[in-house]
Amino acid sequence: MEEYVGLKWHEYITGKASRDFSAATVTLREHSLALGIVFRALGGDAGLRIAPASPRDYYTRRNFLQKVAGSYQQAELAWRDGETLRLPESLALFPTADLNRKMYLWLTALASQQQTPYQHWFRDNQALTERVLEQFEGLRSIYFELVDAFIPLRPLLDGLPEDEARQEKILRHALESPGSEAELPPARFAPAPVYLWLYPVGEQAADLQQMVGEDPDHAQGKSGKKQKKRKQAERVDAYDKDQGLMVFRLENLFSWSEFVPVDRAGDDTDEEEAENVADDLDMISLSRDRKAASSSIKFDLDLPSAGQDDLVLGEGIHLPEWNYREQRLIPDHCCLLPMIADNTEHVSLPEHLRASAVKLRRQFSNLKPVRHWLNRQLDGDEVDLDAWQAFQTQLQIGTVSGEPRLHRSFSAQIRDLSCLVLADLSLSTDTYINNDQRVIDVIQDSLQLLAEALSATGDRFSIYGFSSLKRSHVRFNLIKNFNERYGDAVRGRIQALKPGYYTRMGAAIRQATKILANERSQQRVLLLLTDGKPNDLDVYEGRYGIEDTRMAILEAKKAGLQPFCVTIDTEADEYLPYLFGNNAYVVIHDPQQLPTELPRLYVNLTH
């Protein structure tokens, strides 16, 4: 009963303290696609993605109800950095949905013209507003409509202390007449959030450090540095949560370094402590559990011993990498290790794929070149008797016109095509998509069926897989090369595939481009199969990895190749258009459909 009363009281007092117009709420998810188009159309950086902003601590004056409710201690403020434009996840600031939509549009336009980091939040926002209004005359009416609706929502001047009232008055004038105010006078509290402006982040927030807390997306712990330590790892069985054991004997407390097989729910530890706990452990014990944890951390695991790992072919290949911050290609920056599964067994096609394989081979055999006679030719292998007889008849009746076509030739239409399939074998493929299958299992089935289909067409094809552990260890697994015949040996290598590490996609694409560029076929297809975006443990995260992958794809196109991506990543629409273009990728929303959809996509791609 006490909990029920407390819940109802919280709902009541929070509702009373709220200043939002919930009936007019619009969300970023509904408008992110359109806003992305507007951002780029107005000259914004094509590599930036639009994502929701996290609430940030904001130290402003609150009224009595807000203090009782404990609300308005944080604010969702718009900001951007070199990788992301962050906008509020939802807007209910204005009483109409139309105004809230225009608010998203204005913030997007403002961010598209921000060229340099903020030096002074108050002056820079005015200058940025002036620039947008000058370059885009059509936005002038929208801006002043928002200002007219926004100012009445701000705190009343009569209810503020003298210093805060003076600050608020100057802020309003700066909104109504951008560029008219040079300085914002200090006050005891920060001004109420100016939602029509962008806010600085990280080191740029020097003049706002007293009013705006550090953004959660940029926080790196109390030390200010991310801890990157190598950890030993072991694989253990997952434990049933219903079979847990409770032990409470103070004299027998275990240390952190001892693994105790006692079930702990995935979310019973404070998220903020997860990284500290992992840092204290000498060995990380991993178990397969399809339940999502309440937090995630990134750490480096030891590589398997040489005796347990795939066979490395050669000393490694050094490849360049694109650094978008410096706008240059760094030579010999990555070391790619060609590898092949050692001592794999020759196996036949798995039983559960045989019916689908027979059907696909029958369908794809129709794509084989068909030899036939071309009749009524000017020149050819032999005389076309039907054409000769028709010509003699025309001579008799005097109706001959043009040069006679009295020959025929034997023709064979040849599919001059080579396809390299590049499969992502990163650690994320170890996740389950249902009770029985992991992503890696679906990838194996997809490669098996695609190989069966391609072997039926007679097309030249090869299959490789890749994963990475920083730039010095990019694994490039040979499954089938162009000159190898498809058979039980290749099937065995596909069945031996296992999840690797991370996804340094640019290096893998560059090596695949080298291999495919040596093919003399008229059409050369680079087919990338992945379940997520580029990432790795070092700087290869976020925009750095995106930009390097994009540069590698552009290099492949310049070499005359046809890159195409097939992914099961539900968030792929945010970055794949930038990487491959609008018509060079496809998202499979149901991973279980990938094995049957992949051969169909290949047909559409090569016709």
Higher pLDDT, 220 or 179: 179
**pLDDT score recorded for residue 61:** 81
Q: For residue 15, what pLDDT is reported?
A: 75
Q: Which of 156, 176, 208 is the last residue of a domain?
A: 208
Q: Alpha-carbon distance 164 to 170, whole Å?
A: 10
Largest CA distance in the chain: 119
Burial of 587 (0-12, 13-18, 19+ CB in 10 A): middle
Based on the domain organization, do 447 and 574 belong to the same domain? yes
pTM check: above 0.75: no
- Quick one: pLDDT band at residue 60, thresholds 50, 70, 90? confident
User: What is the 8-class DSSP label of residue 105?
Assistant: H
CA distance 519 to 418: 7
State what percent of residues in the chain have pLDDT above 90.
40
pLDDT digits (tens, 9 = 90+) for 65-119: 777 777 778 888 999 888 889 999 999 999 999 999 999 999 999 999 988 878 8
Q: Is residue 178 part of a domain?
A: yes
Question: Do 512 and 395 sit in the same domain of this protein?
Answer: no
Strand bridging mode 283-286 / 230-235: parallel
Tokens of 386: 């039907």
What is the C-alpha separation between 467 and 536, in angstroms, rounded? 9
Mean pLDDT, residues 22-28: 92
On whether residue 216 sits in a domain, the answer given is: no
β-pairing, 74-75 vs 56-57, is antiparallel
Give the residue with greater pLDDT, 539 vs 206.
539
Residue 288 in this model has a pLDDT that exceeds 60: no
119 against 373, higher pLDDT? 119
**Per-residue pLDDT, 228:** 45
Q: What is the CA radius of gyration of the chain?
A: 32
Model confidence band, residue 409 (pLDDT cutoffs 50, 70, 90): confident
The answer to whether residue 219 is domain-embedded is no
Lowest mean pLDDT among 149-163, 326-340, 396-410, 475-489: 396-410
Cβ pair 564, 605 in contact under 8 A: yes
The secondary structure element, H or E, covering residue 148 is helix 140-150
Averaged over 164-174, what is the pLDDT?
Answer: 92
Mean pLDDT of the chain: 81
The rounded distance, in Å, linking the Cα atoms of 19 and 286 is 47
Answer yes or no: do 513 and 449 share one domain. Answer: yes
Q: Dihedral of CA 89/94/100/106: which sign?
A: negative
Neighbours of 163 (CB within 10 A): 13
Q: For position 329, what pLDDT does the model report?
A: 95
Is residue 217 domain-resident? Answer: no
In this prediction, residues 430-452 reach a mean pLDDT of: 90
Alpha-carbon distance of 365 to 457, in angstroms, equals: 5
Question: Is residue 212 over pLDDT 60?
Answer: no
Asked whether the predicted pLDDT for residue 519 surpasses 50, the reply is yes
Instruction: Identify which of 227, 231, 198 has the alpha carbon closest to the alpha carbon of residue 215.
Output: 198
- Note the pLDDT of residue 550: 94
Structure-token match 């109800």, residue found = 65
Nearest CA among 554, 485, 477 for reference residue 508: 477
Question: Which residues are within 8 A (CB) of 250 and not within 5 positions of it... i.e. 6 or more apart?
Answer: none
Domain annotation covers residue 255: yes
Q: What's the gap between Cα 106 and its chain centre?
A: 26
Please list the residues that pair with 526 across neighbouring strands.
Answer: 420, 563
- Asked whether the beta carbons of 121 and 79 are under 8 A apart, the reply is no
* Residue 162 amino acid letter: E
- Give 581-607 as a DSSP string: -TTSEEE-SSGGGHHHHHHHHHHHHT-
Helix, strand, or coil (residue 439) = helix
Least confident of 20-24, 51-55, 216-220, 473-477: 216-220
Lowest mean pLDDT among 63-77, 359-373, 464-478: 359-373
Quick one: pLDDT at residue 345?
86
Q: What's residue 233's pLDDT?
A: 56
Q: Please tell me the distance from the alpha carbon of residue 80 to that of residue 44, in angstroms, as a whole number.
A: 11
**pLDDT confidence tier of residue 304, bands split at 50, 70 and 90:** low
The answer to whether 55 and 74 have CB atoms below 8 angstroms apart is yes
Is 68 in contact with 13 (CB distance < 8 Å)? yes
Q: Where are the alpha helices (DSSP H) in 42-139?
A: 64-69, 97-112, 121-135
Q: Find the domain containing 285 and state its range.
A: 230-301
pLDDT digits (tens, 9 = 90+) for 221-269: 433 444 444 455 555 555 555 555 555 554 555 554 454 454 444 444 4
| Mode of pairing for the β-strands spanning 84-87 and 79-80 | antiparallel
Asked if 375 and 322 sit in the same domain, the reply is: no
Amino acid found at 304: P
So what's the pLDDT on residue 2?
Answer: 76
CATH of the domain at 598: 3.40.50.410
Concatenating the DSSP letter of every residue in 184-204 gives ----SSBPPP-TTS----GGG
Residue 215 included in any domain: no
pLDDT at 110: 94
Whether residue 150 contacts residue 175, with contact meaning beta carbons closer than 8 Å, is answered with yes
φ/ψ region of 45 (left if φ > 0, alpha if ψ in -120 to 50, else beta) reads beta
User: Is residue 306, in this structure, part of any structural domain at all?
Assistant: no
Tokens of 566: 């097939």
> What pLDDT score does 290 carry?
47
So what's the pLDDT on residue 493? 93
Same domain? 561 vs 420 = yes
Between 513 and 243, the higher pLDDT residue:
513
Q: How many CB atoms lie within 10 A of CB 70?
A: 12
Residues 569 and 428 in one domain: yes
* Residue 11 shares a structural domain with residue 155: yes
**Given this model, what pLDDT does residue 467 score?**
94
- For residues 71 and 172, membership in a common domain is answered with yes
What whole-number distance in Å separates Cα of residue 290 and Cα of residue 55? 29
Check residue 596 and give its pLDDT.
Answer: 85
pLDDT at residue 389 greater than cutoff 90: no
Q: Is residue 221 part of a domain?
A: no
Report d(CA 50, CA 87) in Å as an integer: 7
Domain count, the chain: 4
Q: Which residues of 168-178 are buried (b: 16+ CB within 10 A; e: fewer)?
A: bebbbebbeeb
Residues 320 and 184 in one domain: no
- The dihedrals phi and psi of 548, each to the nearest 5 degrees, come to -65, -40
Mean pLDDT, range 200-208, rounded to an integer: 59
193 shares its domain with 290: no
Tell the burial category of 224 from Cβ atoms under 10 Å away from its Cβ (0-12, 13-18, 19+). exposed
Q: Are residues 243 and 159 in the same domain?
A: no
- Give Cα separations from 352 to 358, 360, 392, 495 (angstroms): 12, 14, 62, 13
For range 507-516, the mean pLDDT: 96
Cβ–Cβ < 8 Å for 98, 106:
no
- In the predicted structure, residue 298 carries a pLDDT above the cut 80: no
The pLDDT value recorded for residue 512 is: 96
Do 576 and 599 fall within a single domain? yes
The token duo for 144 is 């002043």
- pLDDT value at residue 38: 92
pLDDT at 424 over 70: yes
Tokens 């170890």 -> residue: 430
Q: Looking at per-residue confidence, does 235 or 36 come out higher?
A: 36
Q: What's the rounded Cα separation, in Å, for the pair 96 and 424?
A: 46
Contact indicator for 218, 205 with CB cutoff of 8 Å: no
For residues 319 and 371, what is the distance between their CA atoms, to the nearest angstrom? 44
Render pLDDT for 131-159 as a digit per residue (tens, 0 to 9).
Answer: 999 999 999 999 999 999 999 999 888 88
Contact between 564 and 457 under an 8 Å Cβ cutoff? The reply is: no
Task: Identify the weakest region by mean pLDDT among 4-18, 520-534, 589-603.
Answer: 4-18
